[in-house]
Amino acid sequence: MAEPILALDDLCKAYGALKVTSHVSLDVRPGEIHAVIGPNGAGKTTLIGQISGSLAPDSGRIRFDGRDVTALPMHARAHAGLLRSFQITEILPAFTARENVALALQAREGHSFRFWRNVSRDADLNARADACLAELGLEARAEVPAGTLSHGEKRALELAIAMACEPKLLLLDEPMAGTGREETDRLVEVLRALKGRYAMLLVEHDMSAVFALADRISVLVYGEIVATGTPEEIRDNPRVREAYLGEEAVA
Amino acid sequence: MSTQSAPARLSRELIGALIVFALFAGLPILADAMGDTFVVFFTIRIMVFAIAAVSLSLILGYGAMVSFGHAAYLGLGAYCVAILAEHGIWDVTVSLPVTLAVCGLFALVTGAISLKTRGVYFIMITLAFGQMAYYTATSLSAYGGDDGLTMWGRTEILGSTALGDRTVFYYVVLGCLLTCYLLARMIVASRFGRVLQGAKQSEMRLRAIGIDPYAYRLIAYVIAGMMAGLAGALLANAAEFVSPAYMSWHRSGELIVMVVLGGLGSLLGAIVGAASFLVLEEVLSHFTEHWRLIFGPFLVLVVLFGRGGLISLLPGGRKNG
């Protein structure tokens, strides 16, 4: 078995007496989609925050791509290839879709203390940005201000931005949140096409999407991983059914 | 934000800039023909404040850094020139590098601290640094303290006193304004400028793609400080006098008003804003000493109905901010 690209080792975080992350250990192997599911309040977003670097864990280690990144700030982790998307879309609304992606490409190329050349006329940069947009079916929307894109398009743009950063791992925080059925299906197709190319940690509420995409699933309940396994194993796990799937089935 | 394509936006700004700078360039000729010298002095003042407004627009309009102490750089630049002159050093080859270095260093140190904060805290801390500079100037008894300091002449250029000539000085100031405007435009359109404008929209997004905006903001702050310092050096030469009043917080507020009046996010707007502010102040104060009673509501109307500032009210301007 290949060395995991991401490994969480005994991660803990508490807000006062409330343990939001309790001894969480999990790993993501190269090319794998590892999904984390769990009921509301299970601590999924806090976990994403600790992996991406916007929150510091109280204890435990995070190893990424062969090194300890526990103490690295978010932007340094992004540089190392750990890219996240946001549950609530986080794009640059006044920039066009192309400019959003071009800025990510620019970040990839080291510092941006370049003051003289007009970046919007950088044909090479624009061409590469357009190529990223085309992969997600956004090529016709390149010149549109990102703020005026539809919700599903913004979701796709977030992915395009992450992909422009040449990720080694995509950390996807509920990419289907707030999208309609059709858009969800489209996004599932997009992610399926990217499967194998990037390792992904997918935190998602949409069960059909998770079971359609994931190689392995971990179930998070009250900050604790109660089970990890293949989709079949998780489906048949009685603890999981009780904690989570049961209540979903009723709803 | 405008939904016009970039080229359309560009050419509109270009035409506007050509008109504005043509007006500035032609004005002394017109004034000479009419035998009116006041207009020339007054326009020099407009152009000096336009440089300061352009520098503030760079950080305020494009970086969302609401500096409430920007006049400190105006004063600092002015005092550099005047204090050097007091010690018999008049040449631009010394005074300009010293001015830029002092203002740049002050911006680097205060900016490094201020930029650790956001929003209202940033406004307050830049105000505090501005007031520190102000009170320091008032306590410089060797250099006039509260009363200010008179310069007995103007900066020399390699021993030449050419700047003493009104028209020459006018065109030097215009050249400085044009240089600062073009420099700021280039910065805004560069990779650096894109990071700056991206950080204004979402700092989280920038971190997520691997950019820490702090250093970019700081460098922009330093560039703006040096540019305002240049305006200060020109202001000292224009008035042949410096006083702590140059750095008072009223002045910082006026600079913000100029930028907002002209249009946030438009460098040309900053120039138009500076000119409009000073012209209105001049004209209205002829009618009444309570000119702010008229100016206040006018500013409110511009902000309410021309959300892109005066620049958006021009023909072909942005219709919905």
Task: Please indicate whether, in this complex, the C-beta atoms of A112 and B216 are within 8 angstroms of each other.
Answer: yes
Are A173 and A246 found together in one domain?
A: yes
Same domain (yes/no): A75, A172: yes
Cβ within 8 Å of residue B286, ≥6 positions away = none
Q: Where does a domain end: A119, A139, A165?
A: A165
Is residue A76 domain-shared with residue A171, that is, in the same domain? yes
Asked whether residue B317 carries a pLDDT value surpassing 60, the answer given is no
What percent of chain B clears pLDDT 70, i.e. is strictly above it? 94
Residue A244, pLDDT > 80, answer no
B206 and A119 in contact by Cβ < 8 A? no
Whether residue A109 is found in the same domain as residue A143: yes
The answer to whether the Cβ–Cβ distance between B202 and A107 falls below 8 Å is no
* pLDDT at residue A6 tops 70: yes
B207, B266, B318: best mutation site toward chain A, by most A Cβ within 10 Å? Answer: B207
Shared-domain flag, residues A192 and A157: no
Residue A180, pLDDT above cutoff 50 = yes
pLDDT, position B2: 41
Chain A CB contacts of B190 under 8 Å are 114-119
pLDDT single digits (tens) B118-150 = 989 999 999 999 999 999 999 999 999 999 999
Closest approach of chain B CAs to the CA of A114, in angstroms? 6
Residue A29 lies in domain: 1-81+167-251
**How far off is chain B from A94, nearest CA to CA, in Å?**
6
Q: What is the pLDDT of residues A85-97, one digit of tens each?
A: 888 889 999 999 9
Residue A87 inside a domain? The answer is: no
Residue where one domain finishes, among candidates A141, A165, A189: A165
**Closest of B70, B52, B79 to residue B137, by C-alpha:** B79
Average predicted confidence (pLDDT) for chain B = 91
Q: Would the CB atoms of B193 and A119 count as touching at under 8 Å?
A: yes
Sequential DSSP letters for B188-201:
HHSHHHHHHHHHHH
Nearest CA in chain B to A80: B210
| 201-230 in chain B: CB under 8 A from chain A | 201-202, 204-212, 215-216, 219
Mean pLDDT of B227-255: 96
CB B52 within 8 A of CB B74: yes
Percent of chain A past pLDDT 70, that is, above it, reads 96
Number of compact structural domains in chain A: 2
Reported confidence tier of residue A250, pLDDT bands at 50, 70, 90: very low
Q: What does the alpha-carbon distance between residue B135 and residue A249 come to, in Å, rounded to a whole number?
A: 70
| Position A88 in a domain | no
> Which pLDDT score is estimated for A181?
84
Q: How far is A97 from chain B (nearest CA, A)?
A: 13
Quote the pLDDT of residue B1: 40
User: Do both A65 and A26 map to the same domain?
Assistant: yes
Instruction: For residue A145, give how far its alpha carbon lies from the nearest alpha carbon of chain B (Å).
Output: 7
CATH of the domain at A61: 3.40.50.300
Question: B319 falls in which pLDDT band (50, 70, 90)?
Answer: very low
Residue B11 pLDDT greater than 80, yes or no: no
Instruction: Look at residue B316 in the predicted model and tell me its pLDDT.
Output: 55
Task: Check whether residue A59 and residue A180 sit in a common domain.
Answer: yes
Nearest residue of A to residue B219 by CA position?
Answer: A113
The model's pLDDT over B258-299, given as tens digits with 9 standing for 90+, comes to 999 999 889 999 999 999 999 999 999 988 888 888 888 988
Mean pLDDT value of segment A24-49: 92
**Mutation choice for A interface testing from B202, B205, B212, B222 by most A CBs within 10 A:** B205
Q: What's the pLDDT at A40?
A: 81
In this complex, how many residue pairs, one in chain A and one in chain B, have their CB atoms less than 8 Å apart?
Answer: 103
| Backbone phi, psi, residue B260, to 5° | -70, -40
Q: Is A184 domain-assigned?
A: yes
Segment of B165-169, B284-288, B299-303 carrying the highest mean pLDDT: B165-169
d(CA B208, nearest CA chain A) in Å: 6
Query: Is residue B36 very low, low, confident or very high in pLDDT (cuts 50, 70, 90)?
Result: confident
B91, with CB counted inside 10 A (0-12, 13-18, 19+), is: middle
Q: Within this chain, do residues A231 and A108 fall inside the same structural domain, yes or no?
A: no
B7 touches chain A (CB under 8 A): no
Instruction: Look at residue A218 and give its three-state secondary structure.
Output: strand
Residue B9 banded pLDDT, cuts 50, 70, 90: low
Mark whether A144 and A175 lie in a shared domain.
Answer: no
| Beta pairing, strands A18-28 & A33-37 | unpaired
Return the pLDDT at B21: 97
In angstroms, what separates the C-alpha of B94 from chain A's closest C-alpha?
A: 26
Residue A112 to residue B195, Cβ atoms within 8 A = yes
A100 and A161 housed in the same domain = yes
Question: Closest chain B residue to A144 measured between Cα atoms?
Answer: B3
- Asked if residue B6 has pLDDT above 70, the reply is no
Measure CB to CB from residue B205 to each of A79, A92, A147 and give the nearest one: A92
CB contact under 8 A, B208 and A116: no
Tell me, yes or no, whether A77 lies in a domain: yes
Distances (CA, A) of B93 to A64, B153, B155: 54, 16, 10
Per-residue pLDDT at B10: 61
**C-alpha dist (Å) from residue B127 to B69, B102, B211, B221:** 5, 19, 28, 14
Percentage above 90 pLDDT, chain B? 78
Of A118, A142, A165, which closes a domain? Answer: A165
Residue ranges of the domains in chain B?
A: 6-313
Closest chain B residue to A105 measured between Cα atoms?
B209
Q: How far apart are CA A222 and CA A21, in angstroms?
A: 8
Q: Which residues of B touch A95 (CB under 8 A)?
A: 197-198, 201
Does residue A33 sit in helix, strand or coil? strand
Regarding whether A179 and A153 lie in a shared domain, the answer is no
* ipTM for the assembly: 0.88
Residue A239: predicted pLDDT: 81
B59-70, pLDDT tens digit by residue? 999 999 999 999
| Nearby residues of B198 by Cβ (< 8 Å), 6 or more positions away | A92, A95, A103, B205, B206, B211, B213
Tokens linked to B46: 């407009």
pLDDT for position B116? 96
- Give chain A positions within 8 Å (CB) of B192: 112-115
Per-residue pLDDT at B243 exceeds 90: yes
Q: Does B182 touch chain A (CB under 8 A)?
A: no
Contacting residues of A for B3, CB less than 8 Å apart: 145, 148
Is 80 exceeded by the pLDDT of residue B236?
yes
CATH topology for B6-313 is ABC transporter involved in vitamin B12 uptake, BtuC (1.10.3470)
Same domain, A49 and A172: yes
Q: What is the mean pLDDT of chain A?
A: 90
Task: Name residue, tokens 């320091």.
Answer: B136
A106 lies within 8 A of chain B by CB: yes
Q: Give the model's pLDDT for residue A88.
A: 85
Looking at residue B209, its pLDDT comes to 95
Q: Please name the residue of chain A whose CA is at the shortest distance from the CA of residue B188.
A: A115
pLDDT at A235 (0 to 100): 87
pLDDT at B223: 98
Task: Find chain B residues with C-beta within 8 A of A73's C-beta.
Answer: 207, 212
What type of residue is B73? Y
Mean per-residue pLDDT, A93-112: 94
Q: Report the pLDDT averaged over residues B208-230.
A: 97
Query: Does the pLDDT at position B3 exceed 50?
Result: no
A14 domain-assigned:
yes
